[in-house]
Chain A
Amino acid sequence: MTLAAAAATAHATATTTAADAHGFLSPTGVEIAFLLVGLVTFGAAIVTVTTRQLVHAALWLVVTLGGLAVEYLLLTAEFIAWVQVLIYVGSVVVLLLFGLMLTKAPIGRSPDADSGNRWAALTVAVASAAALIWVVVDAFRTTWIDLDGAPAGSTEVTGKALFQNWVLPFEALSVLLLAALVGAIVLSRKAKAAESGTESAPPVPSTRTAKGSDKGGVR
């Protein structure tokens, strides 16, 4: 117990000396780069949630996710950055675009993209942002990330951590992904079977089966 307390005090003194070594008003190059990329990311996120053109929202989401990948690179987490580019920009946004097109989203401006409670939503978002920023800045005022030395998230480091300490959750996650895939297939096929089994409207089945086969191609 006393050992832990001593370690904690030693750690506290270490952080204070680190804070003394850094300056509040003299940002380093990495901080300036982080700030600029962060501004781009935040602006793209704002456009994503406010634009009235649905396809543009998906494309601005690409900018946001790419900016976050750059932020991961600046934090020396290389592997996460490339996974982010591969999975989010490569597959999630493409899936979202397919979804937008399969639900026949209007290409131009759609006036009803926002619901009537947008002012309440804005109030909630601004209030929570103010509260969280206040708490976070107050809590981590004297905390600095040491980015020198070997990268904290290279492929070697992440792979060792993942396959030495996190093997069981990793395998469970693969089962979860398989279950999600099977679930998505079942969700999109069962409805089709039920429709063709129960409904008998003549003109409907042709279009619906065409849509279903489209979606099978997507998955």
Chain B
Amino acid sequence: MHLAYPAVLSVLLFCTGLYGVLARRNAILVLMSVELMLNAVNLNLVAFDVWLSRAAEETLHSGQALTLFTIAIAAAEIGIGLAIVLAVYRNRGTSDIDKLRDTAEGHEADASAGDAAAAESAAEKAEATA
């Protein structure tokens, strides 16, 4: 198999994930795009490991070992990330990244207004569900 096939597919998946990270607003959709990027890297690692395990005399199978490590770290990352997103949602009533501007510079008025609106909507939501 030509090595360009997996390499190009990996590039395309990575750039799709890049677009998703930059363009999405929902935090969970951003996490999905990060998963896409990690999977693109995994495909690259596996393809190059298969290629080098044929070309070299002795191999440590480092590509496949690193792929397993990446999968495990991605699982840990998604757990922590979702815990953070749920904590933010519980405190702010939204998981919209564009509204979380507390540490942005030059948007103080914006941030406080957005904060107040978010708190208000959260209170409304709590009343509605209670």
B11–A157 contact, CB under 8 A?
no
Task: Enumerate chain B residues within 8 angstroms of A169, measured Cβ to Cβ.
Answer: 65, 69
Most chain A CB atoms below 10 A, which of B2, B84, B90: B2
A188–B87 contact, CB under 8 A?
yes
Task: Enumerate chain B residues within 8 angstroms of A208, measured Cβ to Cβ.
Answer: 90, 126
Shortest CB distance B120–A (Å): 13
Chain A 30-50 interface mask (CB, 8 Å, partner B; 1/0)? 110011001001100110110
B129–A207 contact, CB under 8 A?
yes
Task: Enumerate chain A residues within 8 angstroms of B29, measured Cβ to Cβ.
Answer: 49, 54, 57, 113
Chain B 23-41 interface mask (CB, 8 Å, partner A; 1/0)? 1111011011101100100
Task: Enumerate chain B residues within 8 angstroms of A58, measured Cβ to Cβ.
Answer: 32
A79–B64 contact, CB under 8 A?
yes
Interface residues in B31-68 (C-beta closer than 8 Å to A) = 31-33, 35-36, 39, 42-43, 46-47, 49-51, 53-55, 59-62, 64-65, 67-68
A145–B96 contact, CB under 8 A?
no
B60–A165 contact, CB under 8 A?
yes
In the complex, A110 Cα to B29 Cα: how many Å?
A: 12
**Closest B residue by C-beta to A42:** B12
A162–B32 contact, CB under 8 A?
no
A161–B36 contact, CB under 8 A?
no
Contact count band on B: 35 or more
A96–B60 contact, CB under 8 A?
no
In the complex, A158 Cα to B71 Cα: how many Å?
A: 15
A125–B11 contact, CB under 8 A?
no
Shortest CB distance B115–A (Å): 16
Task: Enumerate chain A residues within 8 angstroms of B3, measured Cβ to Cβ.
Answer: 140, 143-145
A96–B31 contact, CB under 8 A?
yes
**Closest A residue by C-beta to B20:** A49
Task: Enumerate chain A residues within 8 angstroms of B20, measured Cβ to Cβ.
Answer: 48-49
A34-B5, A75-B50, A92-B78 known; A11+B15 contact, CB < 8 A: no
A107 at the interface (CB under 8 A from B): no
Chain A 105-142 interface mask (CB, 8 Å, partner B; 1/0)? 10000101111011011101110110011001100110
A45-B13, A207-B129 known; A176+B28 contact, CB < 8 A: no
A83–B68 contact, CB under 8 A?
yes
In the complex, A211 Cα to B3 Cα: how many Å?
A: 49
B130–A158 contact, CB under 8 A?
no
B104 at the interface (CB under 8 A from A): no
B4 at the interface (CB under 8 A from A): yes
Interface residues in A5-56 (C-beta closer than 8 Å to B) = 11, 15, 22, 27-28, 30-31, 34-35, 38, 41-42, 45-46, 48-49, 54
Contact of A83 among B25, B62, B71 (CB under 8 A): B71
Task: Enumerate chain B residues within 8 angstroms of A180, measured Cβ to Cβ.
Answer: 76-77, 79-80
B72–A173 contact, CB under 8 A?
yes
Contact of B2 among A45, A120, A144 (CB under 8 A): A144
- Give me the 5 closest cross-chain CB pairs, A-B, nearest first: A121-B22, A49-B20, A180-B76, A161-B61, A125-B19
**Additional 12 contacts, C-beta under 8 A, given A100-B28, A125-B16:** A31-B5, A45-B13, A48-B20, A54-B29, A74-B1, A87-B75, A137-B7, A140-B7, A170-B69, A176-B73, A195-B90, A201-B126
